Structure 1
Amino acid sequence: MLVQQVLLVITHIIVYLIAVPSADGSYFTTVLFPVLLIQLLIPYVSRSVIRAKELREELEDTKSQLDVYVQEEERNRIARELHDTLGHTLTMMKVKSELALHYIDREPARAKIEMNDVLQTTRLLPNKCVRS
């Protein structure tokens, strides 16, 4: 694209020099000189506008991709917390149940306390999962 712009500029200059001969030798005082300047600036302005549009689209794509990454990271964080909470709770319930089985014949009151702890934990478990 740069080569095209350079060729366009050279073409405009050549056409201007050939088509607009100056009486006093100064091409800067002719009426067409501002037109030449505008014609020379148009490719650069259009290139800047196109580049700005491309950058804006790239920024929007990057932003949407970043939003997806943020959502994925939040999901992963919640999944880790849920996994840790459930793992800890289920391990505690297993240990308490085994302890209750151990005490059931010798100390039934203690076994009952352990099973009540397990029951209490199962009642609180949905609240723990929702809070994460």
Structure 2
Amino acid sequence: MTAMLQTAFRLRFVRFVTVGVGAAALLLVLSYVLASIGLPRFAAGLIAYAVAFVVAYSAQRGWTFGAAHGHGHALPRYFILQAGCALLSGVLAHIAVDRFHMSPLAMSVLITAVASTVSYVVSSLWVFPDKPGHSNKR
């Protein structure tokens, strides 16, 4: 089992998904804990999202994409990408429910799949592109 996990984690996509799932879990737990201890819900969500964003960016840059990109290059692009994915998710959710009458579960699956795919492709090609002489298994 350990050898199989080591082999899987050599693949960039597996590392990307692992970080994404971990960041989503962190967002869920932090927003719940912060709201539960009495922080206003808006502040709890904002703080939890900011922490999850920093953790996800750091892990994607460092582990998934091999820390080959400076923060001055990667961080603004990562921010733009995530803001774009958030807007895309909102638009898709609206269209899925209002136009195609999808259930909340189907809508959630759709926006998660589309936003995750866009995030991976744009991260690979624009935010953290392969540098000449730097191979990072896809």
TM-score (norm 1): 0.31
Report 1 or 2 for greater relative contact order, CA contacts < 8 Å, sequence distance ≥ 6: 2
Larger proportion of helix: 1
Query: Larger Cα Rg: Structure 1 or Structure 2?
Result: 1
The normalised TM-score by structure 2 is: 0.30
